[in-house]
Amino acid sequence: IPFGLFVTFIGSLFVLRIKKLKLSDPYAKATLIIGFACMLELLAEPLYILSQTKKYYIIRVYTEPTATLLRCLTTYIFIKGQIKVEKLVVFALSQVVYAACIFIGYWTYFLLFANIRTFDLLPFRFLLYLSC
């Protein structure tokens, strides 16, 4: 996860540099927003893998359609609602809504409903192992 977050951050900055964009440019805003959405999805990815491994398919049945529906509604509201936002930024914000739903859905399920200790989900056990 740390490497993926680093690559996403560097990749977003790389695109801004190669395209010679200013932060006020809609393409630059969309690139940074999409980078943030990628980071959110990356933070949920280990729990997705864990849910598939443990055959917790019910979480995917509820989380992914909800996230897709909210992404579509966000896009629709921004485009039809006469909100003055560039179209690239609208689609980037919709992707953040999708990623946030995935992130919140998987983490909520595993922290509240799954029969897994919270200690096993968080990386602190590796740090405790190193300190011993």
Is 126 part of a structural domain of the chain? no
- Per the structure, the complete domain to which residue 70 belongs is given by 1-113
Is 65 part of a structural domain of the chain? yes
Is 38 part of a structural domain of the chain? yes
Packing angle of the helix pair 26-53, 2-19 (nearest 10 deg): 160
Is 47 part of a structural domain of the chain? yes
pLDDT per position as a tens digit, 74-109: 999 999 987 888 989 999 999 999 999 999 999 999
State residue 100's pLDDT score.
Answer: 97
Is 128 part of a structural domain of the chain? no
Q: How many independent structural domains does the chain possess?
A: 1
Centroid of chain to Cα 70 = 14
Kindly give, in sequence order, each residue whose CB lies less than 8 Å from that of residue 99, ignoring residues fewer than 6 positions away. Answer: 36, 37, 38, 40, 41, 44, 67
Q: pLDDT digit of tens for each residue in the chain (132 aa)?
A: 889 889 999 999 999 999 998 888 999 999 999 999 999 999 999 899 989 988 989 999 999 999 999 999 999 999 998 788 898 999 999 999 999 999 999 999 988 887 776 666 665 555 455 444
Is 41 part of a structural domain of the chain? yes
